[in-house]
């Protein structure tokens, strides 16, 4: 990146700075999250611009990765959640699309049966990733918890 002030960079520029700083620091997302007191899922999501850090966590994150002081404001700004809507070619990301394509309608139907006509919030939400030992090969265990939001009738 050429020499520009933090006020001149985009959120994408800051994300690239963060990824380089993380690599230089030799830290995992779990280690970073533990040091700032957040979950690894939330930390990565906020670091890549899909969520906003609370100001105190933005400061801790920026300090840990030796980011410029002004990065704190950008890390704490409300995100603009724009992502590529095309099906990704990365095998791991594609499998998540595949899971939603195969099981999304089933999950929606089961949520509606259990709770009524509504959705699971991705705003009032948490997700945890674990390694689950298995005789046929370790498994990825994702636990998602989102607040139920019923549709309003007006």
14 located within any domain: yes
Which of 20, 24, 121, 126 is flagged as catalytic?
Answer: 121
**Same-domain check for residues 117 and 63:** no
pTM of the model: 0.74
pLDDT at 154: 77
31 as an active site residue: the answer is: no
Angstrom distance (rounded) from CA 62 to CA 22? 11
- Determine contact, residues 148/111, Cβ cutoff 8 Å: yes
Closest Cα to residue 11, out of 47, 40, 36? Answer: 47
pLDDT by residue for the chain (154 residues), tens only, comes to 444 555 677 888 999 999 999 999 999 999 999 999 999 988 998 998 888 999 999 999 999 999 998 899 999 998 877 677 788 899 999 999 898 888 887 889 899 999 999 999 999 999 999 999 999 999 999 999 999 999 987 7
Query: Any idea what the CATH number is for the domain that residue 112 is in?
Result: 3.30.1160.10
**Same-domain check for residues 21 and 72:** yes
66 located within any domain: yes
59 as an active site residue: the answer is: no
85 located within any domain: no
27 located within any domain: yes
Domain that includes residue 100, residue range: 91-150
Which of 98, 126, 139, 145 is flagged as catalytic?
Answer: 98
| Number of independent structural domains in the chain | 2
Which of 24, 30, 39, 95 is flagged as catalytic?
Answer: 95
* CA atoms lying within 13 Å on the CB side of residue 15: 14
**Same-domain check for residues 26 and 71:** yes
Classify residue 50 as exposed, middle or buried by CB count within 10 Å of its CB (0-12, 13-18, 19+): middle
**Same-domain check for residues 63 and 117:** no
């Amino acid at each position: 990146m050429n020499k520009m002030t933090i006020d001149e960079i985009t959120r994408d520029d800051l994300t690239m700075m963060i990824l380089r700083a993380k690599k230089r620091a030799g830290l995992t997302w779990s280690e970073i999250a533990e040091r700032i007191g957040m979950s690894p899922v939330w930390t990565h999501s906020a670091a890549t611009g899909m969520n906003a850090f609370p100001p105190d966590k933005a400061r801790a994150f920026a300090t840990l990765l030796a980011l410029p002081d002004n990065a704190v404001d950008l890390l704490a700004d409300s995100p603009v959640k724009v992502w590529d809507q095309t099906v990704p070619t990365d095998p791991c990301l594609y499998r998540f699309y595949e899971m939603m394509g195969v099981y999304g309608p089933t999950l929606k139907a089961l949520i509606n049966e259990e709770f009524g006509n509504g959705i699971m919030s991705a705003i009032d939400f948490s997700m945890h990733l674990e390694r689950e030992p298995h005789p046929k090969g370790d498994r990825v265990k994702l636990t998602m918890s989102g607040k139920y939001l019923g549709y309003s009738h007006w």
